[in-house]
Amino acid sequence: MENYASNLLLSGKRIDNRKLDEFREIEIKQGIIDKAEGSAMVKLGKTKILAGVKIGLGTPFPDTPNEGMLIVNAEFTPLASPDFESGPPGEDATELARVVDRGIRESKCIDLKKLCKTPREMVLCVFVDIHIINHDGNLIDCAFLASLAALMDTKIPKIKDDRIVRGKFEKDLPVLYKPIEVTVCKVDDKFVLDPMFKEEAVIESKLTVCVRDDEKICALQKQGSKELTMDDIKKMIEIAIDKSKELRKLFER
Amino acid sequence: MVKTNEKLIVKGKRLDGRAIEDLRPVKMDVDVIERADGSAQVAFGNTETIVSVYGPRKLYPRFLQKSDTGILRCRYNMAPFSVEDRKRPGPGRRSIEISKVTRLALEPATFLTDFPKTVVDVFIEVLRGDGSTRVAGVNAASIALATAGVPMRDLVVACSVGKIDGKLVVDLNGLEDNNSEADIAFAIMPSKEKVTLLQMDGRLTKEELFESLDLAKKTCKKIYEMQKSALKESFKD
């Protein structure tokens, strides 16, 4: 499925004149769904992703009796791309949700211990639901930004008689870190960030790296059907660490 | 899943007596399933996987066929009795993701363009799960593909590396995995050092991460020799 944009990328140029390591313009809007406890729409160029956070009550997992639960789910809604079909989440949606989940969970950016009401009996469940609205490439990075923005917007609802009182809030969800996921793509011998949908046609391997504020790496996921050398991996991780610093500034106010 | 507050490394030894760079006892057998075109059974300690390979065979329904290449399909599945709490049968989100990364780990090693319109099916069953199941699956799948006669650039060798009690260790067992600060699943084609699987979760500094990648590479070379001798063994008589 090669095209003009992807062929241009092979020669090291981009159709919108960006540098290879340059992201498209990012726009973050929080608090746009009033029924959700937290929400955010992130536009990354023409890629649009909406993330909503709902808070519920549940019984904790037996092995973590005093921790709240985090559940991340992604829907590739058929409205976002002619390639998406309705039905249960497919392989790519599942992978996206799990990679975002891993970044949030392993970075410990939400203090799940603070979400326990009664040990072994009742904890808060944080549901992050990711909806792709328009697919123009680089879904994982965009979905992660949307999820983080939505979590930072989340308020914990009031609980009365073991029930959630909707519309009344206690406090903000404690978000301790601002991890960032950056997907570094390899095209020939070049490393590229934030590919558009058309550019993704020639990308054979990618590495998603989750970097926390203190530069700890919290998640890695290699994707694509081609292999990487050890040197590639090390370079890609360095690129991701650098880029994460720049992207994190979006959340500083 | 068992959490523990106990130390996992005591006087340089792990709870099962291993040093930090030791593998669990490894067992590799090939041609264990008669009906399959290729098969293998691989155990790392109490983690045991069995794999069969069918193909290259004609792919149906026909609209799935690719006119210029064959395709690879992988199914990673955990038997309900393989873990402490019964695993609900059927593909969960974890299995779906692992099936995908396993396919991508094996694909670079195969020459499927020589077999247009066909499929190679790889079925991985975890019989006993005690940590590092996906890498055991990749190791078994790789030698099963070889015995099936699928042309390959190299074997794919996988291992896990993690950080427990502040130290980097290889081949995590279930208890270590559940209590680790980080764990990595890694696969490589050793002759040209091409990495085909890399997943990590936890918290590592860049330096620790690079060190664990080198450790993983070194460990894979050991497993590579075991794979080769398992294959040689099967052609002995």
Report yes or no: B205 at the A interface, CB cutoff 8 Å.
yes
B202 touches chain A (CB under 8 A): yes
B69 touching chain A per CB within 8 A: no
Sheet bearing B38-44, strands edge to edge: B26-30, B38-44, B47-58, B118-128, B71-78
Q: How far apart are CA B110 and CA B146, in angstroms?
A: 10
Rounded Cα distance between B1 and B81, Å, is 14
Which residue of chain A is at minimal alpha-carbon distance from B3? Answer: A63
* Euclidean distance between CA atoms B137 and B78, whole angstroms: 11
Mean pLDDT along residues A133-143: 97
CB-nearest partner of B198 from A63, A98, A207:
A207
First-to-last alpha carbon distance for chain A, in angstroms, is: 42
Long-range CB contacts (< 8 A, 24+ apart) of B227-230? B227/B28, B227/B139, B227/B142, B227/B143, B227/B155, B227/B157, B228/B155, B230/B28, B230/B29, B230/B30, B230/B40, B230/B143
**Distance in Å, alpha carbon of B105 to nearest chain A alpha carbon:** 8
With CA atoms as reference, report the closest residue to A219 among B174, B185, B177. B185
Q: How far is A160 from chain B (nearest CA, A)?
A: 32
- For B142-170, write each residue's pLDDT tens digit: 999 999 999 999 999 999 999 999 999 99
- Delineate the domains of chain B, giving CATH numbers in brackets: 11-232 (3.30.230.70)
Q: What is the mean pLDDT of residues B84-92?
A: 93
Q: Which domains does chain A have, with CATH numbers?
A: 4-251 (3.30.230.70)
Kindly list the distances between the CA atom of residue B99 and the CA atoms of A168, B104, B131, B133, B216, in Å, as whole numbers in the listed order.
43, 9, 16, 12, 21
A56-96, pLDDT tens digit by residue? 999 999 888 999 999 999 999 999 999 999 999 999 999 99
Nearest-angstrom CA–CA distance, B126 and B50 = 7
**How far apart, in Å, do the first and last CA atoms of chain B sit?**
44
Question: Would you call B236 an interface residue with chain A, using a CB distance cutoff of 8 Å?
Answer: no
Residue A253, pLDDT above cutoff 70:
no
The confidence band for B33, taking pLDDT boundaries of 50, 70 and 90, is very high
Chain B hits for A207, Cβ within 8 Å: 198
Q: Is B144 exposed, middle or buried (0-12, 13-18, 19+ CB in 10 A)?
A: buried
pLDDT tens sequence across A2-43: 788 888 999 999 999 999 999 999 999 999 999 999 999 999
Mind telling me how many Å the CA of A15 is from chain B's nearest CA? 29
**Of the partner residues A94, A105, A217, the one whose CB lies closest to the CB of residue B97:** A94
Residue A52 backbone dihedrals phi, psi, to 5 degrees: -125, 145
Contact A130, A80 (CB under 8 A): no
Which helix (H) or strand (E) element contains residue A170?
A: strand A163-172
Question: In this predicted structure, what is the pLDDT of residue B60?
Answer: 95
Q: What is the ipTM of this complex?
A: 0.94
Residue A176 distance to chain B (closest CA, Å) = 15
